[in-house]
């Protein structure tokens, strides 16, 4: 529910996701009647383990298809798209920051950022990759591979990669879960500041109250997800 | 970033197993290259040596043996025929309209294992040699042809000059027999000319004035081992019909053969079959190496599902990750192929001394055969075939599940 006068960047309508279980029954993970995020808005989604946070981000990113319902991003209904179209859409409009960073170990920090803009139809901008790594304070680590970087540095590379394709929406899945306390706040600040600078909408998932309390808009997945409530 | 680079990075990540896989491919390709190059050079050299004249006339018997002993100096010389046959071919009105020159050749002696051939000055003044492209006159590296009225003069081929140390001014005593260390020594001949290399059997022979050759052997009647005949016409009917006419001439009692026909039969029959068998074996080795590429990539797929899922999450389509795996297979095959190409030519270069020693064929590591070009599309095709199965695994990777699974 938009609290400001923003154009909707993300709209979910009656989104349901369930999985078949070995005993033949269905496990309902998501049942979200309505959810919206405005352009450039920053939302934190709070929820306990197993409440469907990652599944929801996968559904929004088009990595998983919802069992039913509609997902619209910037007015485009991704649930109506073919799989290859969704992939293209994700490559050009969505950035993803993973809990485990998910950098490719054989690529340098610079190449990992370039990967973020490789699969869309837009031109690969090496200058932008350098700019982003400079922005996250890693201009001296361009040629270093992930195993040579600290945990905090790896997550900063992941943030730069998520912004590489000039996305309209960034999905951050517990980005501080594997980062030590000292680096936690830096990573959160970095994600929020860079999203603000680039006017990118942000959905950040966390179960940490100290992270959630920094956001103006906090949504509790247990409340918006009817599937969790019914379990 | 290009998909090639992504594939290359994946190879780098598994550097050791990738290197082993590429090396097995390299060995297979090296064998294919060695077989192709060596056969190609032998084929070219055999055909080259068999040109420059149109017919070989010799004693009745095996046509192939006559050609092998006369042109390539291989095997035992055929029985002799009277010298008068040569005169008849050069002078009889029946033959003169089509025969440009008939040159006698006498075999039977050697010097340090190199055949000593008695002939006339016409061998180098009138006959030509084929450089693979066109007929050329013989050229001299040093000195010139022996004189018709100097019976104990000789000229030597380029390999003989180098290996036996026979330069202009040097003298040598031929030995009776066709192999080294055999027979008694004759009087000495003096070298007056060294031929430029031709890449033919001529390079490995010593040519002496036929008059000196006869004086050495003190034979009661003049005989020759073979006669090389150059025709004055290109008319195919004459080229084809003249050997039959000569062979059926009751006054001559000889056989005339077209050396090119015999060489073609030899190469396409015995040598060609051998080459085909070797080539099939080498190709089988390449295919086995290709299966090695498949096993290597396929085995790595379970470890790489997470990586593939990350790439998909960054927006790569299913067919893109499939292409990356196929490109990886192609890079391994082509990389191995390139190493194999270098190895194969290196092997050829390393064997060049032995090949030249045994056959007189000069082989170089830098001699490339046109047929080697087939390796590039062949390897790409093989790599695509063997990379297909792992590529399908990549295509089918469940992104959501693989992202959740630990890397």
Among the listed residues B308, B405, B311, B322, the one whose alpha carbon sits nearest the alpha carbon of residue A112:
B311
> Which CATH number does the domain housing residue A89 bear?
3.40.50.300
Alpha-carbon gap: B294 to the closest alpha carbon of chain A (Å) = 21
Q: Is the pLDDT of residue B368 over 90?
A: no
Residue B381, pLDDT above cutoff 80: yes
- Cβ-contact B105, B119 below 8 angstroms: yes
Residues in chain B with CB shorter than 8 Å from the CB of A165 are: 315
Q: Which of the residues A57, A62, A63 would you substitute to probe the B interface, choosing the one with the greatest number of B C-beta atoms within 10 Å? A: A63
Residue B288 banded pLDDT, cuts 50, 70, 90? confident
pLDDT score, position B406 = 55
Phi/psi of residue B191, each to 5°? -75, 130
Other Cβ atoms less than 10 A from the Cβ of A135: the count is 18
Domain that holds residue A62: 40-67+79-230
Instruction: Report CB contact under 8 Å: A102, B399.
Output: no
Is B396's Cβ below 8 Å from some Cβ in A? Answer: no
A103 falls within a domain: yes
pLDDT category of residue A77 using cuts at 50, 70 and 90: very high
Sheet containing A201-206: order of strands: A94-97, A169-173, A201-206, A42-46, A217-220
Q: How confident is the model at residue B180 (pLDDT cuts 50, 70, 90)?
A: low
What pLDDT does residue A90 have?
92
Q: How far is CA A172 from the centre of its chain?
A: 3
Residue A2 resides in a domain: no
**Residue A194: its pLDDT value, please?**
85
pLDDT at B125: 92
Q: Which of B69-73, B83-87, B322-326 has the lowest mean pLDDT?
A: B69-73
> Is the confidence at residue B357, as pLDDT, over 70?
no
Res. B264 pLDDT band, cuts 50 70 90: confident
What pLDDT score does A226 carry? 81
Report the phi/psi class of residue A18: left, alpha or beta, with left for phi > 0 and alpha for psi in -120 to 50.
beta
Confidence (pLDDT) at B235: 85
Q: pLDDT of A191-225, one tens digit each?
A: 898 888 888 999 999 888 888 898 889 998 888 88
Q: In terms of CA atoms, which chain A residue is nearest residue B319? A: A84
Identify the residue among B14, B314, B320, B399 best suited for mutation to test binding to A, counting A beta carbons within 10 A and taking the highest.
B314
DSSP assigned state of B76: P
Residue A17 domain-assigned? no
Q: What is the mean pLDDT of chain B?
A: 85
Q: What are phi and psi of B146, to 5 degrees?
A: -75, 160
Above pLDDT 90, what percent of chain A? 40
Of A88, A98, A115, the CB nearest to B1: A115
* A54 touching B (Cβ < 8 Å): yes
Element at B13 (helix H, strand E): helix B3-13
* Nearest chain A Cα distance for residue B309, angstroms: 9
Is residue B178 very low, low, confident or very high in pLDDT (cuts 50, 70, 90)?
low
The string of pLDDT tens digits covering residues B313-337 is 999 999 999 999 999 999 998 999 9
**pLDDT for the residue B297:** 83
pTM: 0.72
Please name the member of A55, A58, A120 whose beta carbon is closest to the beta carbon of B315. Answer: A120
Answer whether residue B362 shows pLDDT above 70. no
Residue at A100 is within a domain: yes
Alpha-carbon span A172 to B126, nearest angstrom: 89
- Tally A–B CB contacts below 8 A: 77
In the predicted model, is pLDDT for residue A2 greater than 90?
no
- How confident is the model at residue B68, as a pLDDT? 86
Mean pLDDT in residue range B114-128 = 92
Q: Is B99 helix (H, G, I), strand (E, B) or coil?
A: strand
| Local confidence band at B82 (pLDDT 50, 70, 90 cut-offs) | very high
Q: What is the pLDDT of residue B184?
A: 59
User: Is residue A118 less than 8 Å (CB to CB) from chain B?
Assistant: yes
CB contact under 8 Å between B310 and A104, yes or no, is yes
Residue A44 predicted with pLDDT over 90: yes
Tokens 């029985």 — which residue?
A: B79
Question: Residue A86's pLDDT band (boundaries 50, 70, 90)?
Answer: very high
3-state secondary structure of B238: helix
Question: What pLDDT is recorded for position B99?
Answer: 92
Q: Is residue A224 part of a domain?
A: yes
pLDDT in tens, A115-156: 999 998 888 889 989 988 988 888 898 999 999 998 888 888
Give the model confidence (pLDDT) of A49-70 as tens digits: 778 888 999 999 999 999 999 9
Task: Sort out which chain A residues have CB atoms less than 8 A from B9's CB and list them.
Answer: 104, 106-107, 111
Q: Is the pLDDT of residue B58 over 90?
A: yes
What's the confidence (pLDDT) of residue A121? Answer: 86
**Closest B-chain CA to A102:** B310
Confidence band for B185, pLDDT divided at 50, 70 and 90: low
Q: Is pLDDT of B350 > 80?
A: yes
The answer on pLDDT for B105 being more than 90 is yes
Q: pLDDT at position A91, please?
A: 92
pLDDT of residue B169 exceeding 90, the answer is yes
How many Å apart are CA B356 and CA B348, to the nearest integer?
Answer: 11
CB nearest to B314's CB, from A64, A115, A124: A115
DSSP character at residue B229: E
Mean pLDDT along residues B374-397:
87
Average pLDDT of span B256-281: 82
Q: Total structural domains in chain A?
A: 1
Residue A12 included in any domain: no
Question: Which chain B positions have a beta carbon within 8 Å of A115's beta carbon?
Answer: 1, 6, 311, 314
Residue A73 has pLDDT above 90, yes or no: yes
Q: What pLDDT is attached to residue A103?
A: 92
Residue of A65, A83, A106, A126 to mutate when probing chain B, most B C-beta within 10 A: A106
Residue A3 in this model has a pLDDT that exceeds 70: no
B151-155, B218-222, B251-255: range with lowest mean pLDDT: B218-222
- Three-state secondary-structure class, residue B126: coil
Percent of chain B scoring above 90 in pLDDT: 31
Whether residue A44 lies inside any domain: the answer is: yes
């Amino acid at each position: 529910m938009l609290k400001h006068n923003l154009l909707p960047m993300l709209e979910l309508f009656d989104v349901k996701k369930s999985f078949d279980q070995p005993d033949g029954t269905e496990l309902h993970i998501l049942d979200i009647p309505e959810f919206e995020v405005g352009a450039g808005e920053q939302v934190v989604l709070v929820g306990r383990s197993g409440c469907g946070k990652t599944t929801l981000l996968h559904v929004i990113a088009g990595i998983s298809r919802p069992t039913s319902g509609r997902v619209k991003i910037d007015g485009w209904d991704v649930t109506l798209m073919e799989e290859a179209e969704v992939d293209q859409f994700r490559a050009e409009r969505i950035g993803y920051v993973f809990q485990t960073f998910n950098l490719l170990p054989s690529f340098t920090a610079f190449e990992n950022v370039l990967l973020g803009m490789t699969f869309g139809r837009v031109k690969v901008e090496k200058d932008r990759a350098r700019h982003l790594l400079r922005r996250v304070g890693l201009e001296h680590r361009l040629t270093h591979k992930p195993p040579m970087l600290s945990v905090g540095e790896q997550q900063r590379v992941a943030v730069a990669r998520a912004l590489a394709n000039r996305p309209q929406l960034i999905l951050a899945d517990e980005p501080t879960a594997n980062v030590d306390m000292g680096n936690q706040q830096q990573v959160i600040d970095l994600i929020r500041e860079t999203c603000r600078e680039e006017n990118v909408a942000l959905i950040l998932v966390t179960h940490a109250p100290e992270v959630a309390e920094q956001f103006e808009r906090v949504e509790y997945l247990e409340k918006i997800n009817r599937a969790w409530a019914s379990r | 970033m290009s998909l090639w680079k992504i594939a290359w990075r994946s190879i780098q990540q598994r550097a050791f197993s990738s290197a082993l896989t590429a090396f097995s491919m390299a060995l297979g390709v090296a064998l294919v290259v060695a077989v192709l190059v060596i056969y190609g050079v032998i084929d070219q050299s055999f055909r080259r040596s068999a040109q420059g004249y149109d017919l070989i006339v010799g004693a009745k018997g095996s046509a192939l043996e006559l050609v092998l002993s006369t042109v390539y100096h291989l095997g035992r010389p055929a029985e002799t025929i009277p010298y008068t046959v040569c005169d008849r071919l050069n002078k009889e009105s029946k033959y003169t309209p089509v025969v440009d020159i008939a040159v006698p050749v006498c075999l039977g002696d050697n010097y340090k294992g190199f055949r000593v051939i008695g002939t006339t000055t016409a061998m180098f003044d009138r006959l030509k040699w084929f450089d693979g492209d066109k007929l050329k006159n013989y050229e001299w590296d040093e000195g010139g042809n022996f004189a018709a009225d100097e019976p104990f003069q000789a000229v030597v081929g380029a390999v003989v000059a180098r290996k036996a140390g026979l330069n202009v001014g040097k003298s040598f005593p031929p030995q009776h027999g066709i192999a080294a260390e055999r027979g008694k020594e004759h009087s000495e001949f003096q070298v007056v000319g060294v031929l430029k290399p031709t890449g033919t059997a001529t390079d490995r022979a010593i040519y002496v004035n036929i008059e000196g050759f006869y004086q050495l052997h003190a034979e009661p009647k003049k005989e020759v081992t073979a006669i090389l005949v150059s025709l004055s016409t290109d008319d195919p009917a004459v080229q084809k019909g003249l050997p039959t006419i000569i062979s059926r001439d009751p006054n001559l009692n000889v056989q005339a053969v077209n050396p090119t026909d015999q060489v073609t039969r030899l190469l396409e029959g015995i040598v060609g079959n051998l080459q085909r068998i070797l080539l099939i074996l080498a190709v089988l080795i390449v295919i086995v190496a290709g299966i090695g590429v498949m096993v290597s990539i396929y085995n790595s797929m379970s470890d790489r599902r997470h990586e593939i899922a990350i790439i998909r999450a960054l927006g790569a389509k299913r067919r893109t990750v499939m292409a990356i795996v196929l490109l990886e297979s192609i890079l391994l095959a082509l990389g191995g192929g390139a190493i194999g190409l270098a190895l194969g030519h290196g092997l050829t270069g390393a064997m060049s001394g032995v090949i030249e020693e045994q056959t007189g064929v000069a082989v170089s590591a830098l001699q490339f055969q046109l047929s080697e070009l087939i390796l590039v599309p062949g390897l790409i095709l093989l790599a695509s075939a063997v990379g297909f199965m792992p590529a399908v695994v990549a295509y089918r990777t469940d992104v959501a599940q693989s992202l959740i699974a630990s890397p």
